């Protein structure tokens, strides 16, 4: 393995309700330990069939707006063919088609190049699985 590639896994508890969890600080901490001031790319990947990664503003209501939009697009009801788990769980398996399970972001001089209001968030609508893993990988 190349010295310019580093990876780690975050263990995130999301709880029993749909949630948007800000991971920006964890990503910045990972880069502080691994990027050493270098340029490169940060890849964030959630290896779950019912969660995704979104880049959005946090703290001003956008998290609730996103979850409301997802409820409108993917209602938690009995219309889904995928029927194991709690009521409406089939929608959770469609989520990654709309909120992908990954994001790749530029890193310049060891720092994330996010816009002023952008944050890196785990989006999880699956209350049946509160324990998530998120893999962070730096290539520089």
Where helices occur in 35-136 by DSSP H, the ranges are 62-73, 90-98
Domain residue ranges in the chain: 5-139
pTM: 0.93
Q: Which residues contact 130 (CB under 8 A, 6 or more apart)?
A: 13, 14, 15, 16
* CATH of region 5-139: 2.60.120.460
Q: What is the pLDDT along the chain (140 residues), one digit of tens a residue?
A: 456 899 999 999 998 999 999 999 999 999 999 999 999 999 999 999 999 999 999 999 999 999 999 999 999 998 989 888 888 889 999 999 999 999 999 999 999 999 999 999 999 999 899 999 999 999 99
CA distance 109 to 37: 4
Share of the chain above pLDDT 90, in %: 85
Q: Which residues pair with 106 in a beta bridge?
A: 41
Q: Residue 22's Cα: distance from chain center in Å? A: 8
């Amino acid at each position: 393995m190349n010295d310019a590639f580093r990876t780690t896994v975050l263990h995130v508890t999301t709880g029993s309700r749909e949630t948007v969890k800000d991971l920006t600080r964890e990503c910045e901490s990972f880069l502080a330990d691994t990027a050493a001031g270098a340029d490169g790319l940060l890849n964030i990947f959630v290896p779950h069939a019912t969660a995704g990664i979104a880049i959005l503003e946090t703290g001003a209501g956008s998290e609730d707006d996103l979850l409301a939009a997802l409820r409108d697009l993917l209602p938690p009801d009995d219309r889904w063919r995928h029927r194991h788990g709690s009521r409406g769980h089939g929608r959770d398996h469609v989520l990654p088609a709309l909120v992908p399970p990954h994001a790749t972001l530029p890193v310049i001089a060891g720092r994330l190049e996010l816009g002023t209001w952008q944050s890196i968030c785990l989006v999880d609508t699956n209350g049946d699985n509160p324990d998530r893993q998120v893999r962070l990988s730096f290539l520089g």
